[in-house]
Amino acid sequence: EQFRKKLHEEGVEVITGCPLTRAEKHPGGINLVFADRPAEVFPKVVVTAAAPLAARLCTDLNADELSRLEGVLYQGILCASVLLDRPLGGFYVLNLLDGGLPFTGVIEMSTLVQPGHLGGYHLAYLPKYVPAEDPAFSLSDEEIDQPDCQQYPEIFT
């Protein structure tokens, strides 16, 4: 909210919660066409959508701009959360480079969230970064394998 207030003080209008369907050049700047409110022209616009979506929204891009935006590759993340009865290793972030492990890192929240806030438990996240088009994103929670916590000793010894 403070950020929005500061931007407003600087003359910036922040529009949220209304889908943008198109951003096109206009003699007065950029014409924003919304799904559920009248179009509006602004002298300058910042689009914060993912690059491929921005490529579809901004209709007046040249071939090079379009190609660069469409060429941005994204990763997605599958992330298990586990509650532990003791901390793992005292590090906030541990990146794992072993492709044989079922996750690519350990984020141990004990360094930020006291166990007293979690009933005496220590919270850890086990992220796995995968390409955005990975088939795992279409699986239900029940279909996604539980992390193999038996591999912890291998990591922390």
**Where residue 149 falls among pLDDT bands split at 50, 70, 90?**
low
Verify that 81 and 151 share a domain, yes or no: yes
**CB of 109 within 8 A of CB of 89?**
no
Give the number of other Cβ atoms within 10 Å of residue 107's Cβ.
Answer: 19
Verify that 83 and 136 share a domain, yes or no: yes
pLDDT recorded at residue 156: 66
Q: What is the pLDDT of residues 90-100, one digit of tens each?
A: 789 999 888 87
Structural domain ending residue among the three candidates 19, 42, 70: 70
Instruction: Report the CATH number at residue 15.
Output: 3.50.50.60
Instruction: Report the distance separating Cα 84 and Cα 49, nearest Å.
Output: 37
Q: How many structural domains comprise the chain?
A: 2
Q: What is the pLDDT of residues 59-90, one digit of tens each?
A: 999 999 999 999 999 888 988 888 999 888 77
Q: Which of 121, 113, 115, 116 is nearest to 92 (CA)?
A: 113
Verify that 148 and 87 share a domain, yes or no: yes
Verify that 47 and 81 share a domain, yes or no: no
pLDDT recorded at residue 119: 95
Structural domain ending residue among the three candidates 70, 88, 123: 70
Range of the domain at 21: 2-70
Structural domain ending residue among the three candidates 44, 70, 96: 70
Verify that 97 and 44 share a domain, yes or no: no
- Model confidence at 132: pLDDT above 70: yes
